[in-house]
Structure 1
Amino acid sequence: MTPHPYQDLTPSQLDTLGPEVRRIDVREPDEFTGPLGHLPGAELVPLGTLEAAAASWPREQPLLLICRSGGRSAKAAQALARGGFRHLYNLAGGMLAVREPHAPQR
């Protein structure tokens, strides 16, 4: 078994995900609409409500978990893995990494 029940993805790998991957943002509503914004197509499911919300979701559906820095989404991925989900991705670095300006190439 792998050390993590999920795979970390960097913001540059987001384009590799197909349309079948559901984007779940586990931040609070004020963060979702705040300065960092959210990914296109992301659904807001705050971490505290995630397990109840996910109870009716198909276990085979791939899920990308998103938060501010990657910590809460990693916890969310672990909780979902315990719930039987098998295709989980964590956005490493979270929305901070998505919004971080890329260093100019020299």
Structure 2
Amino acid sequence: MLEIDQQGFAAAYAEGARVIDVREPHEYVTGHVPGAQLIPLRSVASSVGQIEGSGTVYVICATGNRSKTAARTLIDAGLVALSVQGGTAGWIAAGHPVVQGPNALA
């Protein structure tokens, strides 16, 4: 399984899931899952060492396409990773909280 639906992700998030956002910084600041670590897709392969750890890594992007690529990269590196179907757009549409603004990268 490479993907998880919004409901499953919301449940995992409520339990303290690790979340990686693979969008670009200008996208991330417009609204992201609180606590999501920004690692743009182009940097995922070189950032595996920062992501290593136990448990599943939930990977999110705008709509779910880039996150599938990133999840596959992490899986190939030996991690357990799932792409969030519907991405951040689905998260926002479901009414979940987001962080946004110029200080969102801090």
Same topology, TM > 0.5: yes
Percent of pairs with identical residues: 29
Q: CA deviation at 1:76?
A: 0.3
Q: Deviations over 1:49-82 (max 9, x none)?
A: 1111113433533100000010000000111111
Between the two proteins, the alignment pairs up a number of residues equal to 93
Q: Does 1:27 align with 2:23?
A: yes
Q: Write the distance in 2 (CA, Å) between the matches of 1:74 and 1:68.
A: 11
Q: What is the CA distance between 1:14 and its match in structure 2?
A: 2.5
Instruction: Name the Cα RMSD after superposition.
Output: 1.8
Unaligned runs of 5+ residues in structure 1 are none
Instruction: List, as ranges, runs of 4+ consecutive aligned residues in structure 1 with deviation greater than 3 Å.
Output: none
Alpha-carbon offset, residue 92 of structure 1: 0.1
Q: Which structure has the highest helix share of the two?
A: 2
In the alignment, is residue 71 of structure 1 matched against residue 38 of structure 2? no
Match of 1:55, SS state, is helix
Structure 2 regions of 5+ residues with no counterpart?
A: 96-106
| TM-score, normalised by the number of residues in structure 2 | 0.77
Matched residue SS, 2:51: coil
Structure with larger Rg:
1
How do 1:1-106 residues align onto structure 2 when only pairs under 5 Å count?
4=1, 6=2, 8-17=3-12, 18-19=15-16, 21-34=17-30, 37-58=31-52, 60-85=54-79, 87-100=80-93
